[in-house]
Amino acid sequence: MKILKWLLGIFVLIIILFALTILIGTIGVLKDGKTDKLKDQSVLTKAEYGAEYPYTIDKLAIHCENQAIWLEDNSLNKYALNGIAYNKFNGRGDFKGYTTKISIKNAQTKETDIIEKALKLCN
């Protein structure tokens, strides 16, 4: 009887350790894949560029996919940096048009610099 209780205790301990392993793995996936959506993307911030920052929105994520380059704000609104992105998103509710809608005239940082930075994400 003592051996049976001992085996049952070992079995329960193994189940608990297995459940903890699954839980820790799930937390890691959620942290890396779900809650940190900007992890693998480059982000532009006004703090980074200072007075040279070229946009009216203080923080934007840069995206590049199949040569389509666009910026995205915290509300997930998209702004095209090239015609490929414009054609990709045109007609969608979250698409706001070209970045000229959020550009600051005479900004020191040129959009060509931003496009070059974005193209590095495609490669």
pLDDT, averaged in runs of 10, over the chain (123 residues): 82 81 60 42 82 89 90 93 94 93 80 81 74
The domain in which residue 13 lies consists of: 1-36
What confidence tens digit (pLDDT) does each residue in 49-58 have? 888 888 999 9
Cα dihedral angle (36, 42, 47, 52), rounded to 10 degrees? -160
Per-residue pLDDT at 27: 57
Per-residue pLDDT at 73: 92
Residues 69 and 96 both lie in one domain: yes
Q: Are 113 and 63 in contact (CB under 8 A)?
A: no
Residues 82 and 65 both lie in one domain: yes
Residues 28 and 53 both lie in one domain: no
pTM for the predicted model, two decimal places: 0.63
| Paired sense of beta strands 95-98 and 42-45, if any | unpaired
Residues 29 and 89 both lie in one domain: no
Q: Are 99 and 55 in contact (CB under 8 A)?
A: yes
| Paired sense of beta strands 95-98 and 78-80, if any | parallel
Per-residue pLDDT at 88: 94
- CA nearest neighbour of 119 among 68, 77, 71: 68
Residues 69 and 15 both lie in one domain: no
